[in-house]
């Protein structure tokens, strides 16, 4: 297993530097699918959801110089979700004004509303994206048998005995592998959340 990465500067601070492609890549990797998924759940077709995603990313990029996000007023995720809802709302209103060109009737009915279910879904999707990003990082750091021991017991809910037999490991080694991977995942998720 590799060493834990050194804590990096805040992702938001790094994103202010347009030359920091890695920061933007990480941001898009976490939030791009989240934004796209929300647009699809609001009833937008694939191409429209992709357009909304690009518009949101463009809005975030343009706000980086004088970042309007204020941590005292809430989470970054909440701030971003407000941008997402506003971009979706603007997109739907624009489409409603030109229904003949889009062939999309009733789009305003699909206009995103601020409600608990929408907030809950946004947060759930965010947590899934964090896990996917962290899992990709951690899997690259550990041996494949270590990863499989974790995956089979934690995700596939196989017994420790079955996993040990399948991977030709002792049951104790499976417990240790699962524990190490879980710890690394927690660290990586914490790092991503701090950024």
Q: Provide the pLDDT for residue 8.
A: 39
Taking the C-alpha atoms of residue 144 and residue 21, their distance in angstroms, rounded to an integer, is 29
What's the pLDDT tens digit per position in 112-137? 445 677 778 888 888 888 888 889 99
What's the pLDDT tens digit per position in 21-71? 787 888 888 888 889 988 888 888 888 989 999 998 888 887 766 556 666
Q: Provide the pLDDT for residue 66.
A: 58
Can you tell me the mean pLDDT for 173-186? 92
Query: Rounded to two decimals, what is the model's pTM?
Result: 0.58
Cβ atoms within 10 A of the Cβ of 54, count?
A: 14
- The phi and psi torsions of 106 (rounded to 5 degrees) equal 75, 20
- Answer yes or no: is pLDDT of 2 > 60: no
Q: Provide the pLDDT for residue 72.
A: 74
Percentages of the chain per state (helix, strand, coil), in multiples of 5: 75, 0, 25
- pLDDT band for 98, please (50, 70, 90 cuts): low
Q: Which two three-digit tokens encode residue 154?
A: 């934690």
Domains of the chain in sequence order: 11-141 (1.10.1740.10), 142-195 (1.10.10)
Taking the C-alpha atoms of residue 170 and residue 56, their distance in angstroms, rounded to an integer, is 49
Taking the C-alpha atoms of residue 44 and residue 50, their distance in angstroms, rounded to an integer, is 9
On average, the pLDDT of the chain sits at 79
């Amino acid at each position: 297993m590799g060493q834990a990465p050194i804590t990096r500067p805040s992702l938001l601070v790094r994103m202010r530097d347009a030359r920091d492609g890695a920061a933007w890549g990480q941001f898009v990797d976490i939030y791009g699918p989240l934004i796209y998924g929300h647009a699809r759940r609001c009833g937008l077709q694939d191409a429209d959801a992709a357009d909304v995603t690009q518009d949101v990313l463009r809005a975030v990029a343009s706000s980086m110089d004088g970042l309007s996000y204020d941590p005292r007023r809430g989470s970054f995720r909440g701030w971003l979700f407000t941008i997402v809802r506003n971009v979706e709302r603007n997109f739907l209103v624009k489409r409603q004004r030109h229904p003949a060109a889009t062939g999309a009737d009733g789009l305003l009915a699909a206009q995103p509303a601020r409600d608990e279910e929408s907030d809950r879904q946004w947060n759930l999707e965010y947590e899934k994206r964090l896990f996917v990003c962290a899992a990709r990082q951690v899997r690259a750091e550990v041996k494949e048998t270590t990863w499989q021991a974790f995956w089979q017991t934690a995700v596939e809910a196989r017994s420790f005995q079955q996993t040990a037999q399948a991977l030709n490991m002792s049951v104790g080694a499976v417990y240790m592998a699962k524990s190490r991977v879980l710890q690394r995942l927690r660290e990586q998720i914490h790092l991503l959340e701090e950024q």
